[in-house]
Amino acid sequence: MVTDGRGVMKLGQMVRLSRRTILLAGSAWAFAGVGECNVSTQTTARPSLPIPPELRADAAGSIKLEAQTGTMRFLGDRETATYGVNGPYLGPALRLRRGETVTVQVTNSVPENITMHWHGLIIPGAADGGPHQVIAPGKSWRTQLSIDQPAATLWFHPHYYPSTAQEVIKGLAGLLIVDDEEVGRLPLPSRWGVDDIPLIIQDRRFTPDGQFFDRMNAIAVTNGYVGDIALVNGARYPEARTARGWIRLRILNGSNARGYKLSVSDNRSFYVIASDGGLLASPVELKELPIHAGERFEMLIDGRDGRAFDVVTLPVAQDIMRLPPFDGPLPLVTIRPDGADGTGRLPSSLLVLPALPRQLPPLSQELVMNMFRDTRGMMPLKRARLPEMIQSGKTDPAVVARVVNLIVSDSALSEAEQLSSNGVNRKPFSLERIDFSAARNKGLRWRISEGPDLMPHPVHIHGCQFRIISRNGKPPEPERAGWKDVAPISNGGVSEILVRFPYSASRDDPYMAHCHILEHEDSGMMAQFTVP
Ligand code: C2O
Ligand code: CU
Ligand code: CU
């Protein structure tokens, strides 16, 4: 990995998985003849899937991150002003091992306050990087992370209140992968960028001059960010050449608000092996997988036949998220498993997950997601006849134009209006108010629900990995029955979870519980709590 003297990676360090770099990278590589590729997708020049470089602690146990400004050409010709971590857009994939203690230094070289939060990491409040741990421009924040949790695909992103949404849109986010002995003993594909492929899925919308659209208006604080371009690792419909064999995809829905319904173009099955907080008990065979904002899944796909396939997203239930190009199956990335033979395979069982106790603890906390501005955000969509269009199943350009006009032409809310738009337990978030306290190191049963709004709310809790006990009274889907840090609810839904907080979080450094639709979070749908 290329680093300068301070261990900070230079701009433009994203490794591109091209045939050339693979050939240069390893002598073991050989390629199947061109004729053997199944050309189900066009062969015109396509961007290669950028693979975020892995970043491990140096010999002294330290990791240096720098949030910086940059530019990217997402649209081909126009330059977009971006933020990134140790690079122009997104960041490296931090790799930490269970049992390891590392010192992380985060330097803020962007012109606004940020924080850096380790989403899914089980650590004390003081190391969590929540909204209280502000890093001013030009300043650094040092913290120690002691890793003691199972192998998992986590991520990091800023958590500055109230501009997390805009900072993530510009590009501040990256993967954080925890490794451990148990996962190391399994025969899973694990060669980074070869048969272990990270996919960070995000949607974006651009202004006519090529900049990110990121306005916090009434549509945004109610519906969340509605992009019209899908990016994978910062590239538009890229292509990855991988080993021929079982391919592991580590998928992060890093979108501000959008949910996806993932599927494979030739309808082959895939096998979910891990959720937010680590491995499932055994692989779950699926053809479609809904993934909500902030969630992660790892899946294995059989690419032993060497034939190319697309990872596709299918239309979801939320009306506004079905505007084109999300009104039909949309290919996100092409995988061409036509390299040298892969070595990983699909085990029949993965891990012994602790069973949920038969005797559940009493309910100790309710979290109700509230929307106070529902009507102002939803009525215009009704007037534009969006629900009718979705019901009819036919995309009408006139309706689409009216809705897009609403999304982009409504002016930004004042800060006071923004911060009072949403809430948890009937109160908009306040940095000054601790909402509740949770017992330490005790199994707790919490209930998560929403008001009458029927919106999807992927609810995330800091300082823990939890288990979903039930969703709408039923057991969770098998792919959500393992460790989770996001509990999705929608359509008036209710989830119960079993959660435990091993570390403390003080009044000065409380944990957060919030909707991971970042526009909801930034407009009040967040609560903070202490753990003694
Ligand atoms: Cu991914 Cu509180 O955040
Ligand atoms: Cu988090
Ligand atoms: Cu929400």
The residue that leads in pLDDT, 491 or 33, is 491
Distance CA 335, CA 51 (A): 13
Centroid of ligand 3 to alpha carbon of 349 (angstroms): 35
Per-residue pLDDT at 499: 98
pLDDT-derived band at 44 (thresholds 50, 70, 90) equals: low
* Closest approach atom of ligand 1 to CA 120: 1
Say if residue 66's pLDDT is above 90: yes
DSSP 147-204: --S-SEEEEEE---TTTHHHHHHHT--EEEEEE-HHHHHS-----BTTTEEEEEEEEE
Question: If you measure from the C-alpha of residue 256 to the centroid of ligand 1, how many angstroms do you get, rounded to a whole number?
Answer: 11
Cis before 478? omega within 30? no
Ligand 1 center–CA 246 separation, angstroms:
31
Instruction: Considering every ligand atom shown, identify the ligand nearest to the alpha carbon of residue 424 and give its number.
Output: 3
The pLDDT of residue 4 is 34
- The pLDDT value recorded for residue 18 is 39
Q: Does position 1 have pLDDT exceeding 60, yes or no?
A: no
Q: How far is the CA of 458 from the centre of ligand 3 (A)?
A: 6
Q: Which ligand is nearest to the CA of 158?
A: 1
Question: What region, left, alpha or beta, does residue 129 occupy, with left being phi > 0 and alpha being psi -120 to 50 degrees?
Answer: left
Q: What is the pLDDT of residue 201?
A: 99
The ligand placed nearest to the CA atom of residue 173 is 1
Residue nearest to atom 1 of ligand 1 (CA): 119
Task: Give the distance (Å) from ligand 3 centre to CA of residue 423.
Answer: 9
Residue with tokens 């969590």: 128
- Res 43 pLDDT > 70: no
Ligand 1 atom with the shortest distance to the CA of 514: 2
Ligand 2 center to residue 255 CA distance, Å? 14
pLDDT band at residue 162 using 50, 70 and 90 as cut-offs: very high
Q: How confident is the model at residue 373 (pLDDT cuts 50, 70, 90)?
A: confident
Residue 16: its pLDDT value, please?
A: 40
Instruction: Kindly give the distance from the C-alpha atom of residue 190 to the centroid of ligand 2, in angstroms, as a whole number.
Output: 25
Of the candidates 468, 276, 453, 208, the one whose C-alpha atom is nearest the C-alpha of residue 360 is 468
pLDDT for res 45: 83
Q: What is the pLDDT of residues 188-197, one digit of tens each?
A: 999 999 999 9
Tell me the CA–centroid distance for residue 154 and ligand 2, in Å.
9
User: Cβ distance 143 to 271 under 8 Å?
Assistant: no
CA of 457 to the centre of ligand 3 (A): 4
Q: For 417-463, what is each residue's pLDDT tens digit?
A: 999 999 999 999 999 999 999 999 999 999 999 998 889 999 999 99
Per-residue model confidence as pLDDT tens digits over 224-238: 999 999 999 999 999
* H or E element that contains 108: strand 101-108
Compute the distance between CA of residue 498 and CA of residue 354 in angstroms, rounded to an integer: 12
Q: What is the pLDDT of residues 101-136, one digit of tens each?
A: 999 999 999 999 999 999 999 999 999 999 999 999
CA–CA dist 186, 380 (Å, integer): 52
Residues framing ligand 1 (Cβ under 6 A): 117, 119, 157, 159, 294, 460, 462, 512, 514, 516
Q: Which ligand 1 atom lies nearest to the CA of residue 294?
A: 1
State in Å: Cα 356 to ligand 3 middle. Answer: 27
How far apart CA 399 and CA 332 sit, in angstroms, is 25
Which ligand ends up closest to the CA of 456? 3
Pick the residue whose CA is nearest to atom 3 on ligand 1. 119
The average confidence (pLDDT) of the chain is 92
pLDDT of amino acid 395: 97
In ligand 1, the atom with minimum distance to the C-alpha of 157 is 1
**Ligand 1 atom with minimal separation from the 521 CA:** 2
Separation of CA 502 and ligand 3 centre (Å)? 27
Asked whether the CA dihedral 288, 293, 298, 300 is positive or negative, the reply is: positive
Q: Which ligand is nearest to the CA of 165?
A: 1
Q: Which two tokens stand for residue 122?
A: 């089980």
Closest approach atom of ligand 1 to CA 130? 2
* Non-local CB neighbours of 32 within 8 Å, separated by 6+ positions: 244, 306, 338, 339
pLDDT-above-70 percentage for the chain: 92
Q: Ligand 2 centre from 433 Cα, in Å?
A: 19
The tokens for 352 are 């012994």
- For the stretch 279-318, pLDDT in tens is 999 999 999 999 999 999 999 999 999 999 999 999 999 9
Residue 372: which residues within 8 A CB-CB, separation 6 or more? 420, 421, 422, 423, 428, 524
Ligand nearest to the CA of 259: 3
Nearest ligand, CA of residue 224?
Answer: 3
